[in-house]
Structure 1
Amino acid sequence: MIVRDGGDSFVLIRQHDHAAVSEQLARALAPELLPPDSLRAGVVYAAAQHDRGWIELDETPIWNDAAGRPYAFEDYPLLPKIAYYRRGIDEVEAVSPYSALLCSLFYQAFFESLEGEACEAFRSAEQVRQRRLMMNLRADPERTRLDLLRLQLLDSLSLYVCLNEPGAAGRDEHPWYREGFPAADGLLPHGRRLRASWIDEQRLLLSEKALLGETKVELRLKRVPKARIAAVGIDEACRASELETVELVWRNPPV
């Protein structure tokens, strides 16, 4: 779950709904960033499904007493999170082995700096999967590296709109993306840094051409009143809250 404090309510975004925004942006990526070749579909599918392991976990939000809010993806208990990560990659592999390779690499990167038996077991198992898939697919290591950057960029672009209040600027922006999106450094010419900014509460502007053109995306979310949570608990309050669809528009910089 992605959790944003909205004052008198919490804005909750299911991970798979966040991934749906990644997919919509993936379909609109300019050919300079994502070539229109036989591997493009695998990147798009990876973007769409990279968080499918969260589908069941997000069905029942859990309250984090220490933080005074629902558990978010950053601090969700590690062991169930790892188990569902693995399950999600398994399900992706059943449909698209190349997408699963990208998802496996994507999740392994999260655990590079983490210690502990469970983290090491996850890394080891995914490295075995990666070697098998690379061999079976005869995947090109350099193309795979670039496609992983594309997946990381699509994840970050979606998270930008999920973690930020619409219209946020400067110090009000989420700290992860105040300096832009490093994943794009290896994709854009001359290593230029891709940045995003809000034009208003619905429209966003990119600092470099990254999309085919103006791109509309739909983000599903719930606004769960804090008073309702205090009265009936997070699970019942979430179930009673309406699922909203917010339309956002991404633009390339003016020519």
Structure 2
Amino acid sequence: MIVRDDLVIGQPSHAWVTSQIGRAWGNAAHPAAEPFEPMIVAAVQHDVGWVEADLAPQLNPETGRPRGFLQMPRADHLRIWSASPRWLLTQSRYAALIVSRHGTSLYDRVVPEPEQAEAIAAHLAEQRALQAVLSVGLDMEQVARNGALLRTWDAISLALCHGVMPAQAGEFSLSAGGAAGAGDGVAVRLDPWPFGRERVEIACEGRALPGTFTSEAELREAFAAAPAVALRWTLVPA
């Protein structure tokens, strides 16, 4: 869950944004993903393991707000990242491989606390064993390129959902402003421009969840009743 001001955005909603970026992606300098549809499945489902956690948000006692995805206990992270590729096996072997590699790429950058090291090592070993099976017969240079694409789409989506500009997503810079029309949502400039058309419209849903809470029960009751909020962005060249 992404927590910002009086708004929360579920990880699967952020993943929906990621897939919309992926669908529009592609020009002479920044080719579209190939194979295309399995990569879109990977993008839209890469956070599928967060569904249950986002429907029952945890309370951050330090803030009185829900825990954001970066504040979740490490054990929950590992459980979630183990579940996502397994569930994707019911849809696409290729997407499951890309999502598994996406998860392990995140943990490759983690310096674990001593008490977490064994669990993280076991998770990485399990996922790499799965990846070895799913990789048979595939072009691994292409898989690596597509993994980098998903990381880029994911980073752009996170920047949009967090709403803090300027932001950096790999080689891409995001900044506020631009020529969005009335009703077109927040205009965001992107440099360099990776799309084949002059503007790209993106949408998802969050929930309005103002205030602070004194217990998890109170938080979850408020969350269950929280109204949906339509979020829209218009991406334009810098």
User: What's the counterpart of residue 22 of structure 1?
Assistant: 18
Q: Is the contact made by 2:190 and 2:237 (CA closer than 8 Å) also made in structure 1?
A: yes
Q: Is the contact made by 1:225 and 1:237 (CA closer than 8 Å) also made in structure 2?
A: no
User: What's the counterpart of residue 216 of structure 1?
Assistant: 201
Q: TM-score w.r.t. structure 1 length?
A: 0.82
CA apart distance, 1:69:
2.5
CA apart distance, 1:22:
0.5
Alignment of 1:58-207 (within 5 A): 58-112=54-108, 113-115=110-112, 116-135=117-136, 138-165=137-164, 168-169=165-166, 177=167, 180-182=168-170, 193-199=171-177, 202-207=186-191
Structure 1 residue 250 corresponds to structure 2 residue 235: yes
CA apart distance, 1:194:
1.7
Q: In the aligned structure 2, how far is the partner of 1:81 from the partner of 1:35?
A: 30
Letter in 2 for 1:104: S
Letter in 2 for 1:241: A
Letter in 1 for 2:15: A
Q: SS of the counterpart of 1:53?
A: helix
Q: In the aligned structure 2, how far is the partner of 1:251 from the partner of 1:199?
A: 9
Q: Is the contact made by 2:152 and 2:169 (CA closer than 8 Å) also made in structure 1?
A: yes
Cα deviation 1:41-83 (Å, max 9, x = unaligned): 1211111100000011100111011344211110201213212
RMSD across aligned positions (CA):
1.9
Q: In the aligned structure 2, how far is the partner of 1:222 from the partner of 1:35?
A: 32
CA apart distance, 1:114:
3.7
Q: SS of the counterpart of 1:225?
A: coil
Residues 53 and 34 (structure 1), Cα distance of their counterparts in 2 relative to 1, 3 Å cut: farther
Letter in 2 for 1:222: R
CA apart distance, 1:161:
1.0
Q: SS of the counterpart of 2:203?
A: strand
Q: Is the contact made by 1:62 and 1:70 (CA closer than 8 Å) also made in structure 2?
A: yes
User: What's the counterpart of residue 181 of structure 2?
Assistant: none
Q: SS of the counterpart of 1:226?
A: coil
Cα deviation 1:120-160 (Å, max 9, x = unaligned): 1110000001111111xx11121111100100011011101
Q: Is the contact made by 2:22 and 2:43 (CA closer than 8 Å) also made in structure 1?
A: yes
Which residue among 51, 76, 80 is the counterpart of 1:55? Answer: 51
Q: Is the contact made by 1:34 and 1:150 (CA closer than 8 Å) also made in structure 2?
A: no
CA apart distance, 1:234:
1.1
Q: SS of the counterpart of 1:151?
A: helix
Cα deviation 1:87-109 (Å, max 9, x = unaligned): 12111122111111110111001
User: What's the counterpart of residue 225 of structure 2?
Assistant: 240
The number of residues matched between the two structures is 224
